[in-house]
Amino acid sequence: MPKESVMADAEVRETVRSWLTEHWDINRPLDEWRECLVDGGWAAPAWPVEFFGRGYSVEQAALVAQTFEEFGAVGPAQGGPRRLASHTLLTHGNDAQKQAFLRQILTGEHGWCQLFSEPGSGSDLAGLSTKAQRVGDRWIINGQKVWNTSAHHADYGLLLARTDWDVPKHQGLSYFLIDMHQPGVEVRPLRQMNGHASFNEVFFSDAWVLPEHLLGAEGEGWSIAATTLSIERQGFSSERSGGRAKNLTGAIYDQYRSELAVELAPYTWYPQRTGRVDLAYPRAKASGKIDDPALRQALAKLLSMKKSADLTEALAAVKQRAGNNRVSPEGSVGKLAASAIARQAAHVHTLISGAGAMLGGDDSAHEGVVAEILLSVPAISIAGGTDEIQKNIVAERVLGLPKEPRFDRGPFRDVPRNAVDN
């Protein structure tokens, strides 16, 4: 590494340490600390200076994060749907929207949710029918969304809605930033068969959005949604954690742990839906079945698949950090890989436990975690775009194969679908 790069790295670390030494206080209120972080540009150092960052490179921002971790300092509130919102706003928002929303994302003042899927349009997202109609000085929203994580405590939502019924379906969508605290928005929890209630359904009855909260131009919703989906797909195998700060003592850490408990509650089963590859080898060894040739072969396949997927995810992350937040081949390939790995992991856990893999209670395998794996793994083949959708993306955009025949190229109003009020 060139000497000047080493010096630059050392300078970044020293700048961070000096600032933390002056400002970090374990007894400081969390909200006050987050405001201080944003004011100093340390909440998102890779963001532009004019939008609460420091204009650092990706590498410098990584050094900042490492130094915060070593110091035991709490970082910004940017996980989950907040991450989707911030990256989408940075890519497509105008200056006024960035100023209005980004700061409150970093401080944790505003929570967010994603409002894309509908009962009749999940994999075929462009077929959605939630209607946004311009009436006077605002947009009026009517329709239903489903599978909305964190909608029950979100302040704002990333809403994809139809604004034009007389053009092909992809061209008639617009992207809105909607206030979730209004009379026309109703949120209902959805109970899953694995026992969790991580998702919601959301009903809009004459809800409204101000014109300045239209992201991009009218009719650009599909291309903007592609950015959000790319970020979502890249995060499927990412571990959600609170870092070293989760285990330290002090008033600010207590507040942070309380925040994490709320923020991470919808995701408690997410490690299980990815198959818990980390448990496969230890369980095989502890059970004494590691010498079973069939199990060893299945386990070797699983670990090889996971290693390859990790390298693909790293490539996708590099592209994202370089400013490429749009749909990438790596995002779709990584999503497909995560689905295949989860199924293979479920297979390995079943080989280890046999029929006992489905047991719960006192007789359950690994305190019921294995049963939850088997119940949860199918979700990853559906959420964020089904495996079939990802295969189509790879076939068309990576391999250059011809697109499948479509029968919905005309005005969306004329496309056969479930009855909607349009």
pLDDT, one tens digit per residue, over 367-377 is 889 999 999 99
β-bridge pairing 156-162 and 112-115 = parallel
| Closest to 157 measured CA to CA, from 114, 116, 188 | 114
Distance CA 106, CA 38 (A): 7
How many other C-beta atoms are found inside a 10 Å radius of the C-beta of residue 193? 8
Q: What is the pLDDT of residue 236?
A: 43
How many Cα atoms are found within 13 Å in the side-chain-facing hemisphere of 245?
Answer: 27
Q: Is pLDDT of 264 > 90?
A: no
Q: Which of 57-66, 127-136, 242-251 is the most confident on average?
A: 127-136
pLDDT digits (tens, 9 = 90+) for 309-346: 888 777 776 766 665 545 566 667 888 889 999 999 99
**What are all long-range contacts of 90-95, with beta carbons under 8 Å and residues at least 24 apart?**
90/47, 90/51, 90/325, 91/224, 91/227, 91/325, 91/326, 92/175, 92/215, 92/216, 92/224, 92/227, 93/215, 95/50
How many other C-beta atoms are found inside a 10 Å radius of the C-beta of residue 340? 17
Q: How confident is the model at residue 6 (pLDDT cuts 50, 70, 90)?
A: very low
**CA distance readout (Å), 342 to 236, 277, 287, 345:** 11, 8, 21, 5
pTM above 0.85, yes or no: no
Q: How confident is the model at residue 21 (pLDDT cuts 50, 70, 90)?
A: very high
Q: Is pLDDT of 105 > 60?
A: yes
| Local structure of 328: helix, strand or coil | coil
| Local structure of 173: helix, strand or coil | strand
Mean per-residue pLDDT for 14-37? 95
